[in-house]
Amino acid sequence: MREGRLSRCSRNARPEKDGEGVARCPSCSQSPHDEAVVARCAQERAALATPLNRGIGDKKTLVGRAHVRITYPPSLRKWMERRVWEFVLIAMGLLIVPTAVRAESPSVIEVAKFSSGTVGQAMPDGWKPLTFKKIAKQTLYELVKDGESVVVKAMSDASASGLTKEVRIDPKEYPIIRWRWRVENLLQRSDVNRKDGDDYPARLYVTFEYDPEKTSFSKKLKYKAGRAIFGEIPIGALNYIWETKTPVGTIVENAYTNFAQMIVVESGPPKVGTWVDEERNIYEDYKRAFGEEPPMINGVAIMSDTDNTKEQATAYYGDIVFQKSVKASSR
């Protein structure tokens, strides 16, 4: 090699003269370089062989016997850099990797929080009147103070109407309903088996939505006929009632429609005038009453009615909650 001849290397080694202290570049096997250049070339090759020190930007690699520079797009380069540093920090125990956590649904759903209402308010928040076209006289409802708590007071005088709230609750996930109520008197002519006795000082409705995929053909026909007459109606309803003489635990078809099943939870005078806490398994009650799996719950209502018996009744309703299990705390 003549003096002054340039030693070409993709590592931009400076030109050196042949002679003492000159060695051949082991990475490219091209023209001789001085030993410092060769050492630097070897160090760079070692760095390229180590992923964490390689550098994500412009990467150098060997193709054949020449050095080739590979340039990544900026977006890909940033992504790769981020992944590399995350790997480094995880390895060093300095980064906590977030794990996918499934959002847990609440154990209790408060459908009626009457206790947080304002005394004198006619309509609890989120609730609306439940009225009937053929019944002109309506039951009166208002929020009142009872001891330390606010509750709904219902006063029925040969009248019928209720308060209802739209919900969407899976009875399989939330099978338990809990509420508290109190009645001041019973109805002498109340009879769950008769149309003229279909009145109760207190009742709680749970209604279910129409699901065509889970409804039999004959029930679909009845439902469509009922909707044509009455408008939007539930495919099924459970009525938890305070009756006069029918035994507790009785489940009987409503005197007007088989879309509603009546379940007697209180009967007779023993608990009249006192607050009673109730708890029912809606999922099991529906299966017993209708003989099938329940669809989604789409509404809850309270009602005190005396339009058939032409009597008077006063009742009080406390908070209503749905919960996942009997053990879940609701109060």
Query: So where are the chain's domains?
Result: 22-92, 108-323
Contact indicator for 58, 70 with CB cutoff of 8 Å = yes
* CA proximity to 249, closest of 263, 238, 228: 263
- CATH of span 108-323: 2.60.120.260
- How far apart, in whole angstroms, are the C-alpha atoms of residue 166 and residue 126? 8
Q: Residue 22 burial (CB < 10 Å; 0-12/13-18/19+)?
A: middle
Query: What type of residue is 250?
Result: T
DSSP state of 20: T
- Choose among 173, 163, 156, 104: nearest CA to 130: 163
Which residues does 314 contact at the CB level (< 8 Å), separation at least 6?
Answer: 153, 154, 155, 156, 183, 184, 185, 201, 304
Per-residue pLDDT of the chain (331 residues; tens, 9 = 90+): 444 444 445 444 444 444 454 555 554 545 555 666 556 655 655 555 544 444 444 444 444 444 455 565 776 667 777 776 666 555 565 544 444 444 577 899 999 999 999 998 878 889 999 998 889 999 999 999 998 899 999 999 999 999 999 999 999 999 999 999 999 999 999 999 999 999 999 999 999 986 656 655 555 555 454 544 444 455 589 999 999 999 999 999 999 888 899 999 999 999 999 999 999 999 999 999 999 899 999 999 999 999 999 999 999 999 999 999 755 444 4
Measure the CA–CA gap between 279 and 266, rounded to whole angstroms.
Answer: 12
27: helix, strand or coil: coil
Rounded to whole angstroms, how far apart are CA atoms 66 and 71?
Answer: 16
Triad 146, 147, 151: Cα angle to 5°: 30
45 SS3 class: helix
Question: Can you read off the two tokens belonging to residue 102?
Answer: 């499934």
Q: What is the DSSP string of 139-171?
A: -EEEEEEETTEEEEEEEEES-EEEEEEEEEE-T
Residues 37, 32: Cα–Cα separation, whole Å: 10
pLDDT for position 211: 66
